[in-house]
Amino acid sequence: MIQRRRILAATGAGLAPTLTAPRLVRAETRTPGWPDRPIRFVITAQVGGVSDIFIRIFENRLRERLGQPVWIDARPGAGGSVGGAVVATSTDNHTIMINHIASHGIGPTLHKSRLSFDPLRDTPGIARIASLPNVLIVKGDGPVRDLQGLIAYIKANPRRANFSSAGAGTSSHLSGVLFGQKLGLDLTHVPYRGTAPSMAAVMNGEVLFAIDNAPASRQQVLAGMLRALGVSTAQRASTMPELPTLQEQGVPDFDVTSWYGVAGPASMPRPIVERLSEEFVACVNDPQIAQRLRDYGAEPWPLGADGYNAFMRAEVARWAEVIRISGATAD
């Protein structure tokens, strides 16, 4: 497997020293001599994807706060398990990863028989950073104009009742499964290798719809190539308040968000975990970074290590039930 690596840029505006110095002094006291080398950031998707974009948003602040640059090691594949395995076995205390709903919410159940490690045990959470609403999209000039029209079309055309996803075990996969469960619809899942080919399948009429990260489809929606029918979260997204939720339109108890955070190896000493947790939460709470997340279409969603791990355990239990009822597989 080809590893894509790069040292992230070391320039950019930062917080004034008078604002950051007291926090850094206290943190460094707890972690003397750390970090003493660049931080290795494993991402479990291709460079240019959501995880990579989030690191670009954080990179300058992290360099200022940690005193070291960060570099990306892209290890895509198997819903995050390829990259997760790299982090799980790391012992250098300088390797962390962007984790997400696929790797630590859905994957522990869906990919259980294939995993060489336990994501929650071997790569526990350090901090939650952001969430992305999913949006239900259909072909811009297709026969479906609204959600009720989609439901009617599925019932009238069961052979065309299919949806695409960015891959088995992704949020877009289980969002479609849950959508079918909530409405009692028999749907066929068609997995693709990434969000871009999944969206292309909708635009080309290969599949009927998809439920995937909102920012990915924004330009195609604005251009009329795709039509957005609703957002997946219980509340309307602040980045697209005009678009109603699926719940508002009659899909009962439908609340799905693609969440992202940072995780590390279980062997990482607790003081370093606490230091990293503090730094990431501080970054998310920084108004400039929070605005950059919103500009991308994400919601800042900070949570420290203990709270994040409790949150992920609840997510695993939730999606395990969806997988059990539906019989969804990673194939």
The string of pLDDT tens digits covering residues 168-187 is 888 999 999 999 999 999 99
- Residue spans per domain, the chain: 4-131+257-325, 132-256
Q: In the CATH hierarchy, which top-level class contains the domain 132-256?
A: alpha beta
pLDDT on residue 6:
46
pLDDT on residue 299:
93
Question: Angle CA(281)–CA(286)–CA(288) in degrees, nearest 5?
Answer: 140
- Do the two domains 4-131+257-325 and 132-256 of this chain adopt the same fold? yes
Question: In whole angstroms, what is the distance from residue 17 CA to residue 24 CA?
Answer: 10
Mean pLDDT of 237-247: 92
The torsion region of residue 20 among left (phi > 0), alpha (psi -120 to 50) and beta comes to: alpha
Task: Give the residue among 237, 101, 228 at the shortest CA–CA distance from 171.
Answer: 101
Q: In the CATH hierarchy, which top-level class contains the domain 4-131+257-325?
A: alpha beta
pLDDT one-digit tens code per residue, 110-134:
988 889 999 999 999 999 999 999 9
Helices (H), the chain: 17-30, 50-66, 81-88, 101, 107-110, 119-122, 147-156, 171-183, 195-203, 214-222, 270-285, 287-296, 305-326
